[in-house]
C-alpha cells in the first residue's frame, strides 16, 4: 500500500478495489433501506463547530482512561466480525495495529481468529471482548472464561441484536456464511468438538445481564443502547459503561443517528458511568463533536475494516494514525488544550 490516502474515504475506495464484491458489500451494507446507515454520517454534517480563539492552548492532549484501560487517543476499535475476509492475518493484524496506536481493540465474538491467538499475536494490545449472550448460559460462561483467561479487560455485551438484521445486499449476493477454512473461533465448543453457530435470541433480558454481573468481575459495557429509559435501567443493573450504537445501521433500520441519540442518553446517565458511542465517525471533527456532546470516547467499525482490506496491519495503523492526527488538529483549531475541555457549547445544530 504505497498510494497517498489522506482520508478514510480513500481507504474505503482502496478496500473496495481489493475486496471480493460480496465481502465489500457485507462490510459496507446496512439493514433495510439503509436509512440509519446514511443518517449516522449525515448527522455529523449537520453539527457545526464553534471554535474559541486566542486561548494559548498549546498542543492538545487526547489520551483517555476508560474502565482502567489507558488509550492514547479517544478512538477505540469497535467490534466487527470476520476480519480474515479483509486480510489473511485477520484480527491478528488489527490487534497489532491497535497496540501500536496504543488504543483499545474490542474483539468481536464473531472473530475469525480465536481471542487467545489474537493476544499471542499482539501481546501489547489492550483488548476488550464483545459478547452476544447465548441462551445456553453454560456456553456463554465458557466464552466469558476464555475472554478473562486471555486477559481481556472488559466485556462489551451487545444488546441490539435479539435477531439478526436483514441486509438485502447480503441476500442478493447469497452471502450467508464464511468461506471454507474460516470459522468463528470464539464459538469453539471443545466438549462437542465443533464450532457452534452464533445465536441471536429474543429471549435475552435484563436477567441475563444480572447473571453476567455475578459471573464475572470484568466491567460490563452495554453496547447498543438507544433509549434513555434503557440507559437508566442499565445503571440499576450495575453496568460499568454505556455504549450508544445502532450497530452501524445493520440491525433495526430507522433508528436515529447515534450522535443524535447521545445528548439524551448522556443526560439520563448523569455522569454515573462513561458513555461511549459509535456510528458514522469518519473524521477527527466527528470525534470532537461526539465528545463535546458528552461521549467519553468513540469507536470506529468500518474505517478499521477499510484499513485492513487496503493494507493489512499497516493499513489499520494508518487509519488509526489519521484519526489521531485529525483529532489533535481539530482540537488545536478549536483552541482547546485537551479533550476534557470539550463541552456542548462548542457544537451548533445547523
Ligand X SMILES: CCCCC(=O)C(=O)O
Ligand Y SMILES: Cc1cc2nc3c(=O)[nH]c(=O)nc-3n(C[C@H](O)[C@H](O)[C@H](O)COP(=O)(O)O)c2cc1C
Q: Tell whether residue 186 is a contact of ligand Y (CB under 6 A).
A: no
Task: Considering only the stretches 77-85, 92-100, 113-121, 266-274, report the one whose residues sit in contact with ligand Y under the rule CB under 6 A.
Answer: 77-85
- Taking the C-alpha atoms of residue 320 and residue 296, their distance in angstroms, rounded to an integer, is 18
Q: How far apart are CA 100 and CA 145, in angstroms?
A: 27
Of 62, 110, 261, 308, the residue at the interface with ligand X (CB under 6 A) is 110
Select 9 or 340, whichever has its Cβ closest to ligand Y: 9
Annotated active-site residue in 23, 83, 247, 329? 247
Site for ligand X in 57-96 (CB under 6 A): 81
**Strand 347-349 and strand 47-49: pairing?**
antiparallel
If binding is defined by CB under 6 A, does position 233 make contact with ligand X?
A: no
Shortest Å, Cβ 106 to ligand Y: 7
Cell numbers for 63: 489520551
Interacting residue with ligand Y among 39, 218, 234, 300 (CB under 6 A):
300
**Do residues 59 and 331 make contact, with C-beta atoms less than 8 angstroms apart?**
no
* Nearest of 336, 345, 304, 257 to residue 90 by alpha carbon: 304
Element (H, E) at 158: strand 155-158
The answer to whether 130 is annotated as binding is: yes
Residues 173-202 that bind ligand X (CB under 6 A): 198
Residue 134 is labelled as binding a ligand: no
Coarse DSSP helix, strand, coil percentages of the chain, rounded to the nearest 5 percent:
45, 15, 40
Q: Is 300 or 346 the residue whose CB approaches ligand Y more closely?
A: 300
Stretch that binds ligand Y, among 43-51, 75-83, 112-120, 188-196 (CB under 6 A): 75-83
Closest separation between CB of residue 108 and ligand Y, Å? 4
Give me the least distance between CB of 279 and ligand X, in Å please. 12
Nearer to ligand Y, 106 or 336 (CB): 106
Strands (E), 190-317: 194-195, 220-225, 241-244, 275-278, 297-300
Residue 117 grid coordinates:
491467538
Place of cell 466487527: 80
Give CA–CA dist 214/279, Å, rounded: 30
Using CB under 6 A as the binding rule, the residues of this chain from 142 to 161 that contact ligand Y are: 158
Which residue has 443493573 as its cell numbers? Answer: 237
Listed ranges 5-13, 55-63, 72-80, 307-315: which one lies at the site for ligand Y (CB under 6 A): 72-80
Known catalytic membership, residue 227: no
Is residue 157 within 8 A of residue 220, CB to CB? The reply is yes
H or E element at residue 107: strand 104-107
Nearer to ligand X, 79 or 307 (CB): 79
**Stretch 279-308 residues interacting with ligand X (CB under 6 A):** none
Q: Which residue is nearest to ligand Y (CB)?
A: 301
Q: Which residues pair with 223 in a beta bridge?
A: 158, 243
Assess 248 for contact with ligand Y (CB under 6 A).
Answer: yes
The verdict on 22 binding ligand X (CB under 6 A) reads: no
CB-based contact 59:327 (threshold 8 Å):
no
How many contiguous H segments (helices) and E segments (strands) does the chain have? 12, 14
- 78 part of the interface to ligand Y, by CB under 6 A: yes
From CA 292, how far away is CA 322, in angstroms rounded?
20
| Nearest approach, Cβ of residue 301 and ligand X (Å) | 8
Contact residues for ligand X (CB under 6 A)? 81, 110, 198, 247, 250
Q: Which sequence positions are flagged as catalytic?
A: 247
Contact residues for ligand Y (CB under 6 A)? 27, 40, 78-81, 108, 110, 130, 158, 223, 245, 247-248, 250, 278-281, 300-302, 305
Amino acid at each position: 500500500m504505497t498510494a497517498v490516502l489522506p482520508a478514510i474515504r480513500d481507504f474505503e475506495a482502496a478496500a473496495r478495489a481489493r475486496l471480493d464484491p460480496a465481502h465489500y458489500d457485507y462490510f459496507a451494507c446496512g439493514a433495510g433501506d439503509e436509512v440509519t446507515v446514511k443518517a449516522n454520517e449525515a448527522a455529523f454534517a449537520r453539527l457545526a463547530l464553534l471554535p474559541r480563539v486566542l486561548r494559548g492552548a498549546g498542543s492538545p492532549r487526547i489520551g483517555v482512561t476508560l474502565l482502567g484501560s489507558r488509550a492514547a487517543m479517544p478512538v477505540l476499535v469497535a467490534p466487527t466480525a470476520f476480519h480474515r475476509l479483509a486480510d489473511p492475518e485477520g484480527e491478528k493484524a488489527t490487534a497489532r495495529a491497535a497496540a501500536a496506536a496504543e488504543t483499545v481493540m474490542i474483539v468481536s465474538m464473531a472473530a475469525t481468529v480465536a481471542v487467545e491467538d489474537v493476544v499471542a499475536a499482539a501481546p501489547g494490545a489492550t483488548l476488550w471482548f464483545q459478547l452476544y449472550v447465548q441462551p445456553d448460559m453454560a456456553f456463554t460462561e465458557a466464552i466469558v472464561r476464555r475472554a478473562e483467561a486471555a486477559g481481556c479487560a472488559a466485556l462489551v455485551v451487545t444488546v441490539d441484536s435479539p435477531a439478526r438484521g436483514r441486509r438485502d445486499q447480503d441476500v442478493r449476493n447469497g452471502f450467508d456464511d464464511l468461506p471454507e477454512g474460516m470459522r468463528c473461533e470464539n464459538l469453539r465448543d471443545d466438549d462437542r468438538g465443533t464450532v457452534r453457530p452464533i445465536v441471536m435470541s429474543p429471549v435475552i433480558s435484563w436477567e441475563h445481564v444480572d447473571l453476567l454481573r455475578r459471573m464475572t468481575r470484568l466491567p460490563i459495557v452495554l453496547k447498543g443502547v438507544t433509549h434513555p429509559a434503557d440507559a437508566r435501567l442499565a445503571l440499576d443493573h450495575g453496568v460499568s459503561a454505556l455504549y450508544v450504537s445502532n450497530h452501524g445501521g445493520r440491525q433495526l433500520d430507522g433508528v436515529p443517528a447515534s450522535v443524535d441519540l447521545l445528548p439524551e442518553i448522556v443526560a439520563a446517565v448523569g455522569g454515573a458511568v462513561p458513555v461511549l458511542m459509535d456510528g458514522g465517525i469518519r473524521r477527527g471533527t466527528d470525534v470532537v463533536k461526539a465528545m463535546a456532546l458528552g461521549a467519553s470516547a468513540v469507536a470506529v467499525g468500518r474505517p478499521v475494516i477499510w484499513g485492513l482490506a487496503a493494507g493489512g496491519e499497516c493499513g489499520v495503523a494508518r487509519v488509526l494514525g489519521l484519526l489521531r492526527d485529525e483529532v489533535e488538529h481539530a482540537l488545536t483549531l478549536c483552541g482547546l488544550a485537551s479533550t476534557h475541555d470539550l463541552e456542548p457549547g462548542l457544537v451548533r445544530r445547523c
